[in-house]
Amino acid sequence: MSHLSVEAAFAKLDEAIAALPVMQLPLGQALNRVTAAPLAAYCDLPPFDQSAMDGYALRVADATPSPVSLPLSTTVAAGPHDTLPVLPAGHACRIYTGGLIPQGADAVVRQEWTARDGETVIIQRPTPLGQDIRRQGEELRRGTELIEAGRRLNAGHIAMLSMAGVADAAVRRAPRIRVLVSGDEVVDAGRALRPGEVYNANGPLIQAWLAQAGYADVSVAAVGDTEQAVREALQQAFAQSDLVLTTGGVSVGDKDLIAPEAEKLGARRVLWKVAQKPGKPLYVARHGAALLIGLPGNPASVLVNLATFVRRALDRLEDVKTVAPHLQAGVLASPIKADSERESWVRVRIEVDAQGLTRVLPQTHQASHMLSNLSAADALAWVPVSDAPIPAGHTVRWLSLGL
């Protein structure tokens, strides 16, 4: 069998991809982008000694032994100070959560452990040194690395970096993506089908999948099954984008025009045909700086190749440190039919049972022209080539569909 194994095809894909240029972005625009350099804290965290409670700042020596009454001096609310507050000896100072600890204070007593008598406060319990003070730099120091290069920024990262005063980040430029949906039989939902037509699944699938994955510079167009239409659409896409995704037209029929037209335009083939099911006639080529991934037209083939090859290509373009696919392990809840020549991607649902065991539940309707099991499936089991089915109870590897 001459088709590439999935691993061998990943390796060829990797070799063909150069990382995109680096740019500086305000952190607020960097969600889902990939860091191109480590990012370090701009300030200590906490940035100053601060109160962890609403209560009273005092000197422990003044509050020992307890109970003791202390006269109140100024109030310290959370907020900026032009001059640093000072706690006079023998006094307590009203303070709120996040308030700057006044000079001289070495503990905070929470309100619940005190009583008020006009302008004095009664401290009812013994106060340990440093109680309820969040110390400057106790979490981390200015200059501490918060995140390495090659990480895709999520909401948590954005929060963590913002808190440490990081205003912008060096990231890989987001890829510009053009999607060409080929096939004269494909029409958009919204009108009745004529004999021989099917509704467009691949265009909406790719568009929604890319949006969900955080790619905004995406355009989707239909292209007819003529040499000229395919060539013109490819030529324009190569000139305008970093990644061109096509669907359909990569098999062996006379109307399968993607590879021949791309190569007439000077594209250099990276790979064609992977021993996987579905998604076998996957075609990858390079044209100048643009990468073309020709996805086989069957909708399940598009789905699988998005979660595997496209996901990995995007990670490589953006120089992600740990590239997809991210495989996990789980126990098969029912047998899976393997293929004797191709590795299979089987749509499954992942459940964690009461004992904490990850169970992998294969779904029905697995053929490559079917998608209706996506109401239940959320992952793909990666099934090795085998003449025999994989029995229930076996551990299999799976990856999230990213939906």
H or E segment at 159?
helix 155-163
User: Which of the stretches 98-106, 230-238, 295-303, 358-366 binds ligand MOO when contact is defined by CB under 6 A?
Assistant: 295-303
Three-state DSSP state, 347: strand
Q: Give least dist CB 223 to ligand LQZAQKY5, A.
A: 11
User: Which of the stretches 99-107, 290-298, 345-353, 375-383 binds ligand LQZAQKY5 when contact is defined by CB under 6 A?
Assistant: 290-298
User: Among residues 113, 78, 76, which one has the least CA distance to residue 95?
Assistant: 76
User: Which of the stretches 1-9, 136-144, 175-183, 294-302 binds ligand MOO when contact is defined by CB under 6 A?
Assistant: 294-302
Q: Give least dist CB 218 to ligand LQZAQKY5, A.
A: 16
Structure tokens at 172: 């890989």
**Contact call for residue 249 and ligand MOO (CB under 6 A):** no
Near ligand LQZAQKY5 in 164-223, by CB under 6 A = 181, 183, 185-186, 198, 200-203
Between 83 and 375, name the residue whose CB sits nearer to ligand LQZAQKY5.
Answer: 375
DSSP 166-220: --EEEEEPPPPEEEEEE-TTEE-TTSPPPTT-EE--HHHHHHHHHHHTT--SEEE
DSSP 23-81: EEEEGGG-TT-BBSS-EE-SS-BSSS-EESSSEEEE-GGGG-SSSEEEEEEEEE-SS--
**Contact call for residue 299 and ligand LQZAQKY5 (CB under 6 A):** yes
- Cα separation, 180 vs 244, in Å, equals 8
Q: Give least dist CB 247 to ligand LQZAQKY5, A.
A: 5
**Contact call for residue 279 and ligand MOO (CB under 6 A):** yes
Q: Give least dist CB 262 to ligand LQZAQKY5, A.
A: 13
- Cα separation, 389 vs 337, in Å, equals 4
Between 49 and 343, name the residue whose CB sits nearer to ligand LQZAQKY5.
Answer: 343
Q: Which residues contact 204 (CB under 8 A, 6 or more apart)?
A: none
- Distance from the Cα of residue 156 to its chain's centroid: 11
Say how many Å lie between the first and final Cα of the chain, rounded.
33
Q: Give least dist CB 280 to ligand LQZAQKY5, A.
A: 4
Q: Which residues contact 341 (CB under 8 A, 6 or more apart)?
A: 1, 275, 385
**Contact call for residue 297 and ligand LQZAQKY5 (CB under 6 A):** yes
Q: Which residues contact 9 (CB under 8 A, 6 or more apart)?
A: 271, 274, 276, 282, 309
Task: Judge whether 285 and 258 are in contact, CB under 8 Å.
Answer: no
Query: Which of ligand LQZAQKY5, ligand MOO, none does residue 202 bind (CB under 5 to 8 Å by kind)?
Result: ligand LQZAQKY5
**Contact call for residue 246 and ligand LQZAQKY5 (CB under 6 A):** no
Looking at residue 143, its amino acid is G
**Contact call for residue 1 and ligand LQZAQKY5 (CB under 6 A):** no
Strands 358-362 and 328-332: parallel
Q: Give least dist CB 27 to ligand MOO, A.
A: 41
User: Among residues 220, 201, 376, which one has the least CA distance to residue 298?
Assistant: 201
Binding residues for ligand LQZAQKY5, rule CB under 6 A, total: 26
**Contact call for residue 277 and ligand MOO (CB under 6 A):** yes
Looking at residue 358, its amino acid is T
- Cα separation, 291 vs 221, in Å, equals 17
User: Which of the stretches 80-88, 109-117, 274-282, 314-322 binds ligand LQZAQKY5 when contact is defined by CB under 6 A?
Assistant: 274-282
- Cα separation, 359 vs 352, in Å, equals 6
Q: Give least dist CB 277 to ligand LQZAQKY5, A.
A: 7
Q: Give least dist CB 302 to ligand MOO, A.
A: 9
Interior angle at CA 31, CA 306 and CA 239, nearest 5: 55
User: Which of the stretches 18-26, 244-252, 260-268, 333-341 binds ligand LQZAQKY5 when contact is defined by CB under 6 A?
Assistant: 244-252
Between 87 and 275, name the residue whose CB sits nearer to ligand MOO.
Answer: 275
**Contact call for residue 296 and ligand LQZAQKY5 (CB under 6 A):** yes
Task: Judge whether 346 and 320 are in contact, CB under 8 Å.
Answer: no
Q: Give least dist CB 303 to ligand MOO, A.
A: 10
Task: Judge whether 127 and 79 are in contact, CB under 8 Å.
Answer: no
**Contact call for residue 296 and ligand MOO (CB under 6 A):** yes
Where do contacts with ligand LQZAQKY5 occur on this chain (CB under 6 A)? 181, 183, 185-186, 198, 200-203, 247-252, 256, 278, 280-281, 296-299, 301, 368-369
Where do contacts with ligand MOO occur on this chain (CB under 6 A)? 277-280, 296, 298, 301, 368
